[in-house]
């Protein structure tokens, strides 16, 4: 037996999102697995922007793709923004690259011009649907005709598209690294070049994956049905076919494909908006690929994930997107973080998403100071960064603007009358206004001397100081507020 590691060829892998709207969580999921495999094999991870579908192009979407993937730490070695040996990495900037291959396929008879107008194609489809025929593909009206011959027939459009001539013996199965032998349906005479001079996805993806030296095509399982077409193009162009790794799609709890329409979590930006940490989401997406091995914990760094990465472990049954698990991971990562780091994250979060909800009178210095002092108090029960502001609000508002929950006030009204005047006296006389001194002073008078239960003694103080019966630790909060504010609040509440 040899203990040397098996030699793996450095992989070149890519993620190839289309900028058609705000980025889908699937883009991050694919990027994660691509990147892990590149790191595992000492290879390269490429980001390519597939923007050939001009009708679906959304300005700004590309930047959101870059920003959200960087946010997740899923950084690429080559891409439109960082360049690389195969630049450009944006398909709209590579248009002159594709045309020669179209001409080659036309010359070899593997492709043909089609002048059918959109109206004619719609009529054809309607007739096919009405006759319930099994073959619903393009009927090859244009195949074998010259432009002049075709122009005499109905439904002629002067700018043609180019279609693949799918042969009868098209191979309908292929070997997938994750799934083994996979069957796919018979393809239609796919359009590979459009009337607007842009290639379609199918041609551009094959040309670019080949020219960019991609060794493993890692993508979602929705592309399985396209793979026979892609394999034909590789063969016709005389190129080596890459390895295929079709990842299972993420599913909603009802097992349907995760979509922006049905599930807000399909949008990558949603996680930022909600206050998830990138490390928690990344860890969560790792778990969506496969659960940890026996004895391993669910909390794993990216480096650990890479170290034992293996395609054979990937579940082929679509993993269900369980936000409760993500919440748990988020809480875990919040609690593993230093206070400084957490303060910075909460500061950034509030600055980006909740700036309008800050008390208008709040000064910047007081905001930062309060975060530094109070974040350790709220961290133990924080699940999302977005929850911090509500928990800290009572410390950020001016005393006069503190909102008292009327239900809480009603509940403690009777005890307050007995407790608060004494508490005010004790707090005024304390030599130092520290957590310990506050707690000891109040406990001595209210609990030990007056014989009140702790709950009876402290609930009215809590409502007066924080406005609510549920709050971060009371004595610590009072220390942060300081003597003057604490007394002002209690005096106002007594009235
Ligand atoms: N542009 C395709 C998409 O948006 C890429 C598919 C692939 O990875 O081949 O999903």
Question: Model confidence over 31-47: pLDDT tens digits?
Answer: 999 999 999 999 999 99
Q: Which residue, judged by its Cα, is nearest atom 3 of ligand 1?
A: 17
Indicate if 215 and 126 belong to the same structural domain. yes
Query: Which of 336, 357, 374 is the last residue before a domain boundary?
Result: 336
Q: Kindly report, residue by residue over 111-169, the tens digit of the pLDDT.
A: 999 999 999 999 999 999 898 887 789 999 999 999 999 999 999 999 999 999 999 99
Count of domains forming the chain: 4
pLDDT value, residue 495: 80
Atom nearest to 26 CA in ligand 1 = 10
Q: Is 52 in the pocket of ligand 1 (CB under 6 A)?
A: no
Atom index in ligand 1 nearest the CA of residue 226 equals 9
Q: Report the Cα 241 to chain-centroid distance in Å.
A: 30
Tell me what pLDDT residue 2 has.
44
Q: 465 and 453, same structural domain?
A: yes
Contact by Cβ (8 Å): 321, 250: yes
> Which residues span the domain enclosing 201?
94-247
Among 23, 5, 8, 79, smallest CA distance to 311 is for 8
143 lines ligand 1 (CB under 6 A): no
Sign of CA dihedral 334, 338, 341, 347: positive
List the one residue out of 383, 396, 325, 382 whose CA is nearest residue 354: 396
Ligand 1 contact via 16 beta carbon (within 6 Å): yes
Whether 85 is covered by a domain: the verdict is: no
Ligand 1 close to Cβ of residue 51 (< 6 A) = no
- Cα(386)–Cα(393) distance, integer angstroms: 12
Ligand 1 probe mutation, 18, 37, 56, 216, most atoms within 8 A of CB: 18
Active site residue 260: yes
In a domain, 191, yes or no: yes
User: What CATH number does residue 473 fall under?
Assistant: 1.10.10.350
> What's the CA-to-centroid distance between 229 and ligand 1, angstroms?
14
What is the predicted pLDDT for the residue at 164? 98
Same domain assignment for residues 198 and 221:
yes
Tell me if 219 CB under 6 Å of ligand 1. yes
**Same structural domain for residues 98 and 70?**
no
Residues 6+ apart with CB under 8 A from 270: 264
47 lines ligand 1 (CB under 6 A): no
Cβ distance 50 to 16 under 8 Å? yes
What does pLDDT average to in each consecutive run of 10 residues of the chain (495 residues)? 63 97 95 98 98 93 97 98 98 96 98 97 93 87 98 97 97 97 96 96 98 98 97 98 96 86 90 98 95 89 95 91 94 98 98 97 95 98 98 97 97 96 98 98 98 97 98 98 98 92
Q: Are residues 101 and 199 in the same domain?
A: yes
pLDDT at 5: 56
Best mutation site among 201, 207, 229 for ligand 1 pocket (most ligand atoms within 8 Å of CB): 201
Closest CA to 142 of 116, 120, 168, 110: 116
Exposed e or buried b per residue across 160-189, where buried means at least 16 C-beta atoms within 10 angstroms of its C-beta? bbbbbbbeeeeeeebebbbbeebebeebeb
Contact between 226 and 191 (Cβ < 8 Å): no
Residue 231 in any domain: the answer is yes
**Ligand 1 centroid – CA 219 distance (Å):** 7
- The reported pLDDT for the residue numbered 162 is 98
Assess if residue 390 is contained within a domain: yes
pLDDT attached to residue 4: 53
* Confidence (pLDDT) at 304: 95
Which tokens belong to 453? 């239960």
Nearest CA to ligand 1 atom 10: 17
Pocket lining: 209 vs ligand 1, CB cutoff 6 Å: no
Report the residue among 205, 225, 227 best suited for mutation to probe ligand 1: largest number of ligand atoms under 8 A from its CB.
Answer: 205
Written as six digits, the tokens of 257 are 């494909």
pTM of the model: 0.93
**Of 257, 260, 325, 366, which residue is the catalytic one?**
260
What is the rounded CA–CA span in Å between residue 405 and residue 393? 13
Residues 128, 156 within the same domain:
yes
| Cα 476 to middle of ligand 1, angstroms | 53
């Amino acid at each position: 037996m040899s203990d040397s590691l098996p030699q793996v060829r450095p992989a070149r892998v890519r993620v190839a999102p289309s900028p058609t709207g705000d980025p889908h969580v699937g883009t991050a999921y694919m990027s994660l697995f691509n990147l892990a495999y590149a790191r595992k094999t000492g290879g390269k991870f490429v980001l390519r922007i597939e923007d050939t579908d001009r009708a679906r192009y959304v300005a700004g979407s590309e930047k959101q793709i870059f920003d959200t993937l960087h946010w997740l730490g899923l950084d690429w070695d080559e891409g439109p923004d960082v360049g690389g040996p195969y630049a450009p990495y944006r398909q709209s900037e590579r248009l002159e690259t594709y045309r020669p291959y179209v001409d080659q396929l036309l010359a070899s008879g593997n492709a043909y011009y089609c002048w059918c107008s959109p109206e004619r194609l719609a009529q054809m489809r309607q007739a096919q649907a009405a006759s319930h025929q099994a073959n619903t593909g393009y009927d090859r009206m244009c195949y074998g005709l010259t432009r002049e011959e075709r122009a005499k027939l109905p439904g002629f459009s002067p700018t043609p598209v180019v279609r693949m001539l799918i042969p009868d013996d098209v191979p309908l199965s292929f070997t997938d690294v994750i799934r083994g032998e996979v069957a796919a349906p018979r393809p239609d005479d796919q359009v590979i070049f459009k009337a607007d001079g842009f290639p379609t996805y199918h041609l551009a993806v094959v040309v670019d994956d080949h020219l960019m030296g991609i060794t493993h095509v890692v993508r979602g399982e929705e592309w399985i049905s396209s793979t026979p077409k892609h394999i034909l193009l590789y063969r016709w162009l005389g190129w080596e076919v890459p390895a295929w790794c079709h990842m299972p799609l993420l599913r909603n709890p009802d097992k349907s494909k995760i979509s922006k329409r049905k599930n807000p979590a399909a949008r990558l930006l949603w996680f930022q908006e909600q206050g998830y940490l990138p490390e928690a989401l990344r860890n969560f997406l790792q778990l969506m690929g496969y659960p940890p091995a026996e004895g391993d914990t669910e909390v794993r760094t990216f480096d650990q994930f890479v170290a034992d990465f293996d395609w054979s472990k990937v579940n082929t049954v679509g993993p269900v997107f369980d936000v409760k698990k993500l919440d748990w991971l988020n809480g875990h990562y919040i609690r593993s973080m230093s206070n400084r780091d957490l303060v910075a994250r909460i500061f950034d979060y509030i600055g980006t998403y909740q700036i309008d909800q800050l008390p208008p009178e709040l000064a910047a210095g007081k905001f930062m100071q309060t975060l530094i002092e109070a974040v350790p108090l709220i961290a133990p029960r924080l699940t999302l960064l977005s929850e911090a502001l509500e928990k800290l609000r009572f410390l950020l508002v001016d005393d006069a603007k503190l909102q008292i929950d009327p239900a809480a006030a009603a509940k403690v009204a009777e005890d307050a009358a007995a407790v608060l005047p004494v508490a005010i006296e004790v707090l005024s006389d304390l030599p130092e206004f520290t957590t310990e001194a506050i707690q000891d002073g109040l406990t001595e008078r209210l609990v030990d001397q007056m014989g009140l239960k702790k709950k009876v003694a402290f609930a009215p103080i809590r409502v007066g100081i924080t406005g609510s019966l549920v709050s971060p630790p009371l004595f610590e909060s009072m220390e942060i507020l300081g003597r003057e504010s604490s007394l002002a609040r209690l005096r106002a509440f007594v009235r």
